[in-house]
Amino acid sequence: MANYFNSLPLREQLAQLGTCDFMAASEFEEGVNYLRGKKLVIVGCGSQGLNQGLNLRDSGLDVSYTLRASAISEKRPSFVNATSNGFKVGSYAEMIPDADLVLNLTPDKQHSAVVKEIEPLMKKNACLAYSHGFNIVEEGQKIRDDLTVIMVAPKCPGTEVREEYKRGFGVPTLIAVHADNDPNGEGLAIAKAYAAGTGGDRAGVLMSSFVAEVKSDLMGEQTILCGMLQTGSLLCFDKMVAQGVEPGYAAKLVQYGWETITEALKHGGITNMMDRLSNPAKLKAAALSDSMKAILRPLYEKHMDDIMTGRFSGGMMDDWHDDDVKLLGWRHETSETAFERESVTDDEISEQTYFDQGILMVAMVKAGVELAFETMTAAGIKAESAYYESLHEVPLIANTIARKKLFEMNSTISDTAEYGCYLYNHACLPLLQPFMEPLNTDVIGRGLGLNDLGVDNQELIRVNQEIRSHPVEHIGQMLRGYMTAMKAIG
Amino acid sequence: MAELFGFDSADIEFGSGFSLERLDWQVADGDKWLVAGRNGSGKSALLAAIGGVGRLRSGRINALREPIAELSITVQRGLAARERVRLEGGEGSEFENGTPVSAILEELNPDSDLLRELSDRLGLGELLAQPFLNLSTGETQKVLLVRALASRHPVLILDEPLRGIDAASRIIAFNCIERFAGMRTVILVTHEVNAVPDWAEHLAYLESGSICYQGALAASEATDWLEQMSTLTVPQMALPPRVTGQASLQAPQSPLVVMKNVQVSFGDLPVFENLNWEIHAGEHWQVTGPNGSGKTTLLNLITGDSPHCYTNDLNIFGFQRGTGESIWDIKQYIGYVSSGLHLAYRVSASVERVLLSGFYDSIGLYQSVTSEQETIVAEWLKLIGLEKKRQQPFNQQSYGNQRLLLITRAMVKQPALLILDEPCLGLDPLNRALVIALIKQLTQSKTTTILYVSHDVSDPIPGISKRLSLPLA
């Protein structure tokens, strides 16, 4: 198999990268009707598989599962997940031939093997769905010509997909139809009904492409999302401890700090996050962010370039074939870091304190979000995609760190994201080392401690202008506007 | 006895905006205190302050330095939240089953003989290997009780220790508490003025964030305060109107519920075998049964929240389950409240919007509302005496007031089927009387059929005549 994206002519590459449009709620008036009475068979019953299936069934669709024969005979957790929830489970040979829609919700790494086994069993003109397009785009899997291939990608972990549905809402979702596999022109209708069945239509759906989803997803997760938060956690913690901040306190400030400061991001973008700082702290954070952006821009560009050329996925697939040596080594290394091993203090830290004492963390989020967004859009990815894969997802990843630090983050994200995070962290740590050297606890751990909060008017106007006029703020304001029209917060 | 902890003219502010004011209270080693007061008077805040939560604005605190064993909603929520985190497997990873009861118990004291003895007495013996989150409301309470009592911590905080515990176990639980209270310092919070143990010595009575009485529990003044809590009368009232023009106002088909030969089991534990049940419009039911008899599971079959509704022969409001209907088709006819819903209602929204969400069966509000719905909600808020809280955040209300609001949320649309699963847990006597009076009104309304669930067989609800009694599975 050859990388699909690389096989496309430039105009097609650009067209597919540049696909991402917010869909009007009226496009989903038919709900799940297109799939009513059809047979949906889900391959795999992990977090996405189980939770999407529960939603689809509660929306009135006919859902069952198929698992590898060994998972069934050994009653593995995936088998127990499905059967204890009252789903019918069978082998590929039993379930696939009758399926109208097969949802491949196994991990990326298993995709090519799974597809190779199920494809010959699928009936003519059936549909194969993914929730992440890595297999199609990076591995270049060719799917039989009579089959429709679509993607419905909820932009949240599976448990969140379920919880939001039960609340009567949903999670933002990207959908796409694979241009090479839409023989009957029904791909979009199926994808829309599938998205409605998971509740995604209530939170907002974006029409994307396999290419745009994969390239932006990879870029976001390895740079700002997991990469920056991991590298930032380690740097901030080590800095504080070296400067005499009590380690339990430093660990707490980092563990819960990301969640607290990015909550502000969720409500009002970088602008609101920066507005939570005092004026002198805001100027400080803006300056730190500028320095980091200058240092890190080449790294972000390298990640984007490697993703576009397929060098990244090639390297990762080599590691797959090498029994995940690099990935597993990295996972172990992370678990051994001082931050990860420190237990946090019981002392209360107030919400505002996380901002006041976490100026450097705010700066890291700003630098990472803006850089990832700038790099993605410069590479031809549309602002909408870039927004969802950078700013929008930061609070979701920050939540996982708040739960159980980096261990939780790395076990929640996909192996693909974790591998990308590994590459980023190794390159980013040494790059930021000289930048970190002169910093003090005024920007991380203790706060500025100023009695006089005065600042220069012109300087403040310039910085505010710069924050507010960044393109991620423009698109963010618009997309958050669409979302709140649907979801009233508070 | 030496002072163990105390407050001197302390004003303490909490993140929620609530504050305790002019707090003068000293607790000596070995004291046995009863803390009482109406919903929202500050009982939980006082317990939190003992644990060191809150910001001291003025006055002085002599902080407690000993470890606390606590049984409260706060502890339960904390454990449940921790379990949810453990259960949330990552992308592509498989779920674990969750922490078993035995491990939860051993966290405060690993003495397995003692734990086994207490568990057996409260009928938990069979459940020790079960995942903690699988337990029913009453079973969870028993586990937390055993966990707190068996600990060796010198300070015991028991916030409504008998909440949700079935009739058969109440006496046993009561005796266990007495035995383990012993020489320890105990802070007991309860609304059940009829069930105050003999060993309690002192009363601290709270009103609007201040202790307005403290002294010997035997004193006649103490009795007066406690009686005041339960003898206020419920005023005459009329229900607000139903909304006009909502699809769910069309009466669904009767029978509302038909269950045929229902079979449910958890793992190897059978819960129901060949259960047959019909609910007809206008027939009000009370479902009773001991903790763990499957009351909540039965309700979840009706509401669609149990996966077993797809593996059984159920007809709900004329929908044969599993034939293409969605859970929202079902829920539009239902108003529902339970401890599970209370735990799940974790979104930030104002009191008013929580009530409005009752029109859409959602947790949080995601649709635009009509002015008629707003008017109706305002009337309900007035009826329950919380109109001043309209714009305040729901999650900063006291537990009792949250519960009262969620009961009202279930009632606002005056649904075809109103399901109340142990609704009154955590309500003070007056609010409980208010809820019972509302239920009585609804039974006379002709539009709403009521399904009231309680572990307590000796708790008849006026207007409800049909009984379903579930045996222990």
Q: Which residue ranges make up each domain of chain B? A: 3-231, 247-469
Q: Are residues B282 and B466 in contact, defined by beta-carbon separation less than 8 angstroms? A: no
Q: Which of B281, B410, B300, B390 is nearest to B345 (CA)?
A: B410
Residue A63 counted as domain residue:
yes
Residue A8 counted as domain residue:
no
| pLDDT at residue B82 greater than cutoff 90 | no
All residues of chain A having their beta carbon less than 8 Å from the beta carbon of residue B89 are 46-47, 159, 411
Q: Tell me the average pLDDT of chain B.
A: 88
Q: Are residues A74 and A56 in the same domain?
A: yes
Of A167, A186, A208, the domain-final residue = A208
Q: Are residues A173 and A274 in the same domain?
A: no
Other Cβ atoms less than 10 A from the Cβ of B277: the count is 18
Residues 6+ apart with CB under 8 A from A138: A3, A4, A5, A214, A310, A313, A317
Q: Tell me the average pLDDT of chain A.
A: 93
Nearest to A46 among B89, B96, B308 (CB): B89
All residues of chain A having their beta carbon less than 8 Å from the beta carbon of residue B393 are 490
Q: Quote the pLDDT of residue B90.
A: 40
Of A208, A242, A259, the domain-final residue = A208
Q: Quote the pLDDT of residue A369.
A: 97
Amino acid A56 reads L
Amino acid B371 reads S
Q: Are residues A251 and A202 in the same domain?
A: no
Q: Residue A101 belongs to what H/E stretch?
A: strand A101-104
Q: Are residues A163 and A295 in the same domain?
A: no
In chain B, which residue's Cα lies nearest the Cα of A198? B326
Residue A200 counted as domain residue:
yes
Instruction: Give the best-scoring range by mean pLDDT among A45-59, A338-352, B285-299.
Output: A45-59
Q: Are residues A167 and A115 in the same domain?
A: yes
- Residue range A41-67: mean pLDDT, rounded: 96
- B375: closest CA of chain A, how far (Å): 19
Per-residue model confidence as pLDDT tens digits over A315-359: 999 998 998 898 888 888 888 899 988 888 878 888 999 999 999
| pLDDT at residue B92 greater than cutoff 70 | no
Q: Quote the pLDDT of residue B384.
A: 92
**Is the Cβ pair A106, B307 closer than 8 Å?**
no
Q: Quote the pLDDT of residue A488.
A: 45
Q: Residue A310 to residues A117, A138, A303, B264, B285: CA-CA distances in angstroms? A: 25, 7, 11, 51, 64
**Is the Cβ pair B92, A84 closer than 8 Å?**
no
**Is the Cβ pair B95, A81 closer than 8 Å?**
yes
Residue A69 counted as domain residue:
yes
Of A190, A208, A226, the domain-final residue = A208
For residue B33, the cross-strand partners are B187, B202
Per-residue model confidence as pLDDT tens digits over A10-24: 999 999 999 999 898
Q: Are residues A427 and A455 in the same domain?
A: yes
Phi-psi category of B67—alpha, beta or left, where left has phi over 0 and alpha has psi -120 to 50? beta
d(CA B287, CA B298): 10
Cα three-residue angle A9-A13-A18, rounded to 5 degrees:
150
Name the CA dihedral angle for B75, B81, B83, B88, rounded to a multiple of 10 degrees.
Answer: 180
**Is the Cβ pair A166, B329 closer than 8 Å?**
no
| pLDDT at residue B94 greater than cutoff 60 | no
Q: Are residues B80 and B131 in contact, defined by beta-carbon separation less than 8 angstroms? A: no
E strands present in A89-197: 89-90, 101-104, 127-130, 148-154, 173-177
- Residues of A annotated as catalytic (active site), given as ranges: 132
Q: Residue B443 belongs to what H/E stretch?
A: helix B429-443
Per-residue model confidence as pLDDT tens digits over A448-466: 988 889 999 999 999 999 9
Nearest to B307 among A86, A348, A412 (CB): A86
- B113: closest CA of chain A, how far (Å): 31
Cα three-residue angle B361-B366-B371, rounded to 5 degrees:
85
Q: Are residues A366 and A399 in the same domain?
A: yes
All residues of chain A having their beta carbon less than 8 Å from the beta carbon of residue B344 are 166-167
CATH number at residue A34: 3.40.50.720
All residues of chain B having their beta carbon less than 8 Å from the beta carbon of residue A348 are 53
Residue A241: both structure tokens together: 């401890």
d(CA B438, CA B453): 16
Q: Are residues A173 and A272 in the same domain?
A: no
Count the alpha carbons within 13 Å of B60 in the hemisphere toward its beta carbon: 5
**Is the Cβ pair A86, B347 closer than 8 Å?**
no
Give the confidence band of A270 by pLDDT, cuts at 50, 70, 90: very high
DSSP 3-state of B265: strand
DSSP 3-state of B408: helix
Pairing mode, strands A101-104 and A127-130? parallel
**Is the Cβ pair A48, B92 closer than 8 Å?**
yes
Nearest to B91 among A59, A81, A158 (CB): A158
CATH architecture designation of domain B3-231: 3-Layer(aba) Sandwich (3.40)
Residue A3 counted as domain residue:
no
Q: Are residues A61 and A197 in contact, defined by beta-carbon separation less than 8 angstroms? A: yes
Which CATH superfamily hosts domain B247-469?
A: P-loop containing nucleotide triphosphate hydrolases (3.40.50.300)
**Is the Cβ pair B89, A47 closer than 8 Å?**
yes
Residue A90: both structure tokens together: 């069978």
- B334: closest CA of chain A, how far (Å): 14
Percent of the residues in chain B that have a pLDDT greater than 90, as a whole number: 49
- A132: closest CA of chain B, how far (Å): 12
| pLDDT at residue A490 greater than cutoff 70 | no
Query: Which residue bears the tokens 């009904």?
Result: A193
In chain A, which residue's Cα lies nearest the Cα of B349? A490
Chain B contacts to A (CB-CB under 8 A): 15, 53, 85, 88-96, 267, 304-305, 307-308, 310-311, 324-329, 344, 347-350, 353, 357, 360-366, 393
All residues of chain A having their beta carbon less than 8 Å from the beta carbon of residue B394 are none
Give the confidence band of A485 by pLDDT, cuts at 50, 70, 90: low
- B312: closest CA of chain A, how far (Å): 10
More confident call, B133 vs A244:
A244
**Is the Cβ pair A169, B361 closer than 8 Å?**
no
Report the length, in residues, of chain B.
473
User: Exposed, middle or buried by CB within 10 Å (0-12, 13-18, 19+), for A189?
Assistant: middle
Q: Is the peptide bond before B307 cis (omega within 30 degrees of 0)?
A: no
| pLDDT at residue B458 greater than cutoff 70 | no
User: Exposed, middle or buried by CB within 10 Å (0-12, 13-18, 19+), for A177?
Assistant: buried
Q: Are residues A57 and A111 in the same domain?
A: yes
In chain B, which residue's Cα lies nearest the Cα of A43? B92
Q: Are residues B27 and B3 in contact, defined by beta-carbon separation less than 8 angstroms? A: yes
Domain span holding position A178: 20-208
Nearest to A169 among B90, B93, B366 (CB): B366
**Is the Cβ pair A168, B364 closer than 8 Å?**
yes
Instruction: Give the number of A-B residue pairs with CB atoms closer than 8 Å.
Output: 105
In chain B, which residue's Cα lies nearest the Cα of A416? B91
- Residue range B46-57: mean pLDDT, rounded: 90
- Residue range B25-53: mean pLDDT, rounded: 91
In chain A, the number of structural domains is 2
Strand order in the sheet with B313-316: B269-279, B257-266, B313-316, B319-320
CATH number at residue A462: 1.10.1040.10
Q: Quote the pLDDT of residue A474.
A: 95
| pLDDT at residue B232 greater than cutoff 70 | no
| pLDDT at residue B324 greater than cutoff 60 | yes
Q: Are residues A189 and A219 in the same domain?
A: no
Residue B299: both structure tokens together: 């309700």
Q: Are residues A414 and A397 in contact, defined by beta-carbon separation less than 8 angstroms? A: no
All residues of chain A having their beta carbon less than 8 Å from the beta carbon of residue B267 are 84
| pLDDT at residue B225 greater than cutoff 90 | no
Residue A11 counted as domain residue:
no
Phi then psi dihedrals of residue B46, to 5 deg: -65, -45
**Is the Cβ pair B347, A47 closer than 8 Å?**
no
**Is the Cβ pair A81, B94 closer than 8 Å?**
yes
d(CA A175, CA A153): 6
Q: Are residues A171 and A104 in the same domain?
A: yes
**Is the Cβ pair A60, B324 closer than 8 Å?**
yes
Residue A4 counted as domain residue:
no
In chain B, which residue's Cα lies nearest the Cα of A35? B324
- B108: closest CA of chain A, how far (Å): 18
Residue A351 counted as domain residue:
yes
- B215: closest CA of chain A, how far (Å): 33
Per-residue model confidence as pLDDT tens digits over A217-265: 999 999 998 999 999 999 999 999 999 999 999 999 999 999 999 999 9
Nearest to B92 among A36, A46, A348 (CB): A46
**Is the Cβ pair A488, B365 closer than 8 Å?**
yes
Phi then psi dihedrals of residue A186, to 5 deg: -110, 5
DSSP structure class, residue B379: H
d(CA B344, CA B300): 14
Q: Are residues A141 and A229 in the same domain?
A: no
